[in-house]
Amino acid sequence: MAQVLEFKLPDLGEGLTEAEIVRWLVDVGDVVAIDQPVVEVETAKAMVEVPCPYGGVVTARFGDEGTELPVGAPLLTVAVGGSPEQAAAPAPEAQKAPAASDAESSEYSGNVLVGYGTTGPAARRRRVRRETPVSAAAVVAAPVVPAQEPVAAPPGPVAVISPLVRKLARDRGLDLREVRGSGPEGLILRADVESALAVRDRAAEAPAAAPAPAPVAVAAAGGRSGMGVSPAEGQGRVPLRGVRGAVADKLSRSRTEIPDATCWVDADATELMAARAAMNAAGGPKISVLALLARICVHALSRFPELNSTVDTAAREIVRLPSVHLGFAAQTERGLVVPVVKGADGRTAESLSAEFARLTEVARAGSLTPADLTGGTFTLNNYGVFGVDGSTPIINHPEAAMLGVGRIVPKPWVHQGELAVRQVVQLSLTFDHRVCDGGTAGGFLRYVADCVENPAVLLRTL
């Protein structure tokens, strides 16, 4: 006898509480194997494929593409065990999903999300069910036999034995959860599906409701009277969710909680660029400018550890962090992300260059994991790639500082008492004024600029 198990959205790690369904990888009726990815979801940190810990036949899916579900909400149900015919059409008595304590069965893999092991399904917070056109049509339908009136979708899978009945409903776009079965123990029969389809068809033929009045023009952003703008004139709304929502929340929190200040300086990067050219001419993997700036940055943090810290507001303490986990801003099709190079203070310029390249490629492919995007202690923001000279970066909460780097361009510069054309870059440091004063921040930025202008300065302590 087949048993129907309910698979809930697992805890994806790193404190994430919800995820948006991007794409279903299976349909109702498909046979899935243990740990086979069944849905692609987007969290506030990354896009991941969620594997199912059960093997069997998918009997129901919960949520359309674009639906945002909380952790613990049902994703799908799978009929496991029994013959293939029974798995494809579980009996009514097997329709109830087991409790969390029953989920530890031989059909459960324990690997809900590869790389984020769990001990069992996440606890349910609330059930999220998609609304279908059937329920809306049933509201305005003519009176029908009571047994066929649309009902609220019951929790869990539906009581359907016949694959033909399920296929008929699927082909006609009918949600079986909205159908009341007239068979034994609420079993849905072919006649029930045909009656529900007839109700929907009659509702579709009903006279359309009177058109709603035209929308009242709203005041323009400037507040001037007589300048109304209706939504039809191009106004649009974009939901703040996924990566965009996470960025908005984090930046808003940074501006709200952190009393930041910014200082900046221009630096002559001619010698740094010459040193990079000499390194790359010697053979071996190429060294990027970002890697050299990162090496300078982590070394400066060893001299000014106040900037590699965070503020514990509850304890009213500054927490000095022992290692530098360096975040760097990367622009992708999904928006701005900040991958983190773990243990950056123990890496060479060659190792940093390789890790920057790897994480950037993974970010652009949309395959970063939550672990790749968390744990940073300091951020390096190279906005010069956008062709701009300067900026006042917003600190990546809960870090204490961010170094911004503008474009490196030829400019007139006084060099050794004479006017010359040199490669000049603007550096800016935004810092949390709670962790240090301007003297510390200025000292850090000046040391970074000195190393950019004369890379030999680093040789004294390497």
Query: 415 catalytic, yes or no?
Result: no
Q: Is there a contact between 73 and 8 (Cβ–Cβ < 8 Å)? A: yes
Q: Average the pLDDT over each of 108-112, 245-249, 281-285, 353-357 and give the range with the smallest value.
A: 108-112
Q: What share of the chain is helix, strand, coil (3-state, %, to 5)?
A: 30, 25, 45
What is the tens place of the pLDDT at every residue in 375-415?
999 999 998 888 999 888 899 999 999 999 999 999 999 99
Closest CA to 3 of 68, 90, 115, 83: 90
Check 299, 325, 415, 433 and give the catalytic one: 433
What is the tens place of the pLDDT at every residue in 167-202?
677 778 888 778 888 877 677 887 888 888 888 877
Q: What is the mean pLDDT of the chain?
A: 78
- pTM for the whole thing? 0.57
DSSP string, 21-62: EEEES--TT-EE-TTEEEEEEE-SS-EEEEEES--EEEEEE-
What is the tens place of the pLDDT at every residue in 298-322?
999 999 999 999 999 999 999 999 9
Q: To which H or E segment does residue 409 belong? A: strand 409-415
**Cα(79)–Cα(123) distance, rounded to whole angstroms?**
21
Q: Cα 211–217–221 angle (5° rounding)?
A: 145
Closest CA to 52 of 95, 97, 111: 111
**Cα(250)–Cα(236) distance, rounded to whole angstroms?**
24
Q: Is there a contact between 4 and 90 (Cβ–Cβ < 8 Å)? A: yes
DSSP string, 310-363: EEETTTTEEEE-SS--EEE-EEETTEEE--EETTGGG--HHHHHHHHHHHHHHH
- Determine the pLDDT at residue 40: 86
pLDDT value at 275 more than 90: yes
**Cα(272)–Cα(293) distance, rounded to whole angstroms?**
9
Q: Which phi and psi (to 5°) does residue 423 adopt? A: -85, 110
